[in-house]
């Protein structure tokens, strides 16, 4: 083989592998997966972005996990340090037996508070959804100096946000009988979980079945149904604390974006609009979506969140 041809072949070989390496670098996963030990709870969390960038703590709801943020994290990680833990009893975080761990929202918030200390998260914006909201509100009222901004994505803090779908749960609050508890088991069936994802969505064809299938599978773990029923019962304490959370909003007036699916059958748009009573500068965006709006309308919601954070947070911590 002539020297010139050999040199050309070697050059092509090295150019290929240089470009391959650059491409591999560009497509490596932006989200990494970790565990943190918090007392006797092994907390699973997803992390993305530069730890030196402003932090955003994403708190999921029922019946899901940090999996719901899998795509949003990639959208935010270009400029922000994003952390999404699974709550105890959800996702890949451990679910201690009920005689070893109290499944109340106060205790879930305590665990997440200790989790933020464990990983060194000192200041952060909150993104809260569903159950994540009362946990986030507890963090904010306990540590107002840590909260840089709030994104409420169908995360309620007002009684006017509760729909009639809460009636069976509210009946259990007022009459905590075994019969009323058993009536709530239907909310934990695969069909009911799927309904939460698809009801109100502008198209069910954009809802990935991975989401509700994973949620349903994790609900079948031994003891998990009783854990969820305990949390249904305890949710009344969140509603009782709404005035405390509203007082926090009025006093500290954190920058707040409420971006909600306007067709949510569980938390009504009135709950989003109500933030403006206590934070007049709050921005409210209603999307043609249901409860799990991120599953159907990620590009629109992700862009809204990014613009809000860009306008609100400093470029560095």
Model confidence band, residue 317 (pLDDT cutoffs 50, 70, 90): low
State phi, psi for 284 to the nearest 5 degrees.
Answer: -115, 125
Nearest to 68, CA basis, from 51, 87, 95, 49: 87
Clarify whether 60 is annotated catalytic: no
Query: Which CATH number does the domain housing residue 44 bear?
Result: 3.40.50.1820
Residue 282 lies in a domain: yes
- For 258-270, write each residue's pLDDT tens digit: 999 999 999 999 9
Confidence of residue 26 (pLDDT cuts 50, 70, 90): very low
Residue 1 lies in a domain: no
Whether 235 maps to a domain, the answer reads: yes
Residue 289 makes CB contacts below 8 A (sequence gap 6+) with 200, 201, 202, 261, 262, 263, 264, 296, 297
The position carrying tokens 């405390």 is 244
Number of other residues whose CB lies within 10 A of the CB of residue 106: 14
Q: Is residue 75 part of a domain?
A: yes
Structural tokens at position 278: 């206590």
Tell whether 65 is covered by a domain.
yes
How many structural domains is the chain composed of? 1
How many residues can be counted in the chain? 317
- Kindly state the average pLDDT of the residues 232-240: 99
pLDDT of residue 184: 99
| Structural domain containing residue 62 | 31-312
What are the beta bridge partners of residue 3?
none
Q: Is residue 5 part of a domain?
A: no
pTM score: 0.91
Neighbours of 88 (CB within 10 A): 24
307 assigned to some structural domain = yes
Pick from 138, 130, 133: nearest CA to 109: 138
Residue 15 lies in a domain: no
Give 145: exposed, middle or buried? Use CB within 10 Å, 0-12, 13-18, 19+.
Answer: exposed
Which of the pair, 15 or 90, is modelled with greater confidence?
90
Query: 34, 202, 291, 306: which is the annotated catalytic residue?
Result: 291
Distance CA 110, CA 133 (A): 14
The answer to whether residues 144 and 159 touch, using CB atoms and an 8 Å cutoff, is no
């Amino acid at each position: 083989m002539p020297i010139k041809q050999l040199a050309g072949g070697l050059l092509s070989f090295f150019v290929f592998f240089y470009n391959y390496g650059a491409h591999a670098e560009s497509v490596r996963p932006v989200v990494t997966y970790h565990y943190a030990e918090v007392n006797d709870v092994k907390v699973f969390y997803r992390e993305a972005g530069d730890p030196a960038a402003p932090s955003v703590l994403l708190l999921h709801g029922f019946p899901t996990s940090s999996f719901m943020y899998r795509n949003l994290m990639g959208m935010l990680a270009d400029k922000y340090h994003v952390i999404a833990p699974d709550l105890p009893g959800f996702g890949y975080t451990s679910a201690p037996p009920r005689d070893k761990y109290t499944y109340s929202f106060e205790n879930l918030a305590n665990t997440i508070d200790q989790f933020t200390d464990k990983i060194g998260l000192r200041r952060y914006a909150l993104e809260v959804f569903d159950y994540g909201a009362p946990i986030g509100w507890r963090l904010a009222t306990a540590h107002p100096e840590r909260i840089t901004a709030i994104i409420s994505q169908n995360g309620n803090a007002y009684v006017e946000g509760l729909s009639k779908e809460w009636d069976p749960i509210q009946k259990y609050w007022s009459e905590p009988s075994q019969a009323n508890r058993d009536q709530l088991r239907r909310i934990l069936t695969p069909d009911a979980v799927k309904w939460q994802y698809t009801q109100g969505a502008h198209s069910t064809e954009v809802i990935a079945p991975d989401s509700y299938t994973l949620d349903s599978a994790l609900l079948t773990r031994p003891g998990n149904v009783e854990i969820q029923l305990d949390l249904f019962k305890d949710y009344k304490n969140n509603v009782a604390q709404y005035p405390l959370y509203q007082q926090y909003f009025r006093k500290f007036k954190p920058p707040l974006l409420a971006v909600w699916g306007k067709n949510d059958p569980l938390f009504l748009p009135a709950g989003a609009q109500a933030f403006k009573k206590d934070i007049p500068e709050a921005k409210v965006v209603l999307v043609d979506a249901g409860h799990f709006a991120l599953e159907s309308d990620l590009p629109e919601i992700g862009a809204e969140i990014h613009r809000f954070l860009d306008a609100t947070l400093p470029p560095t911590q």
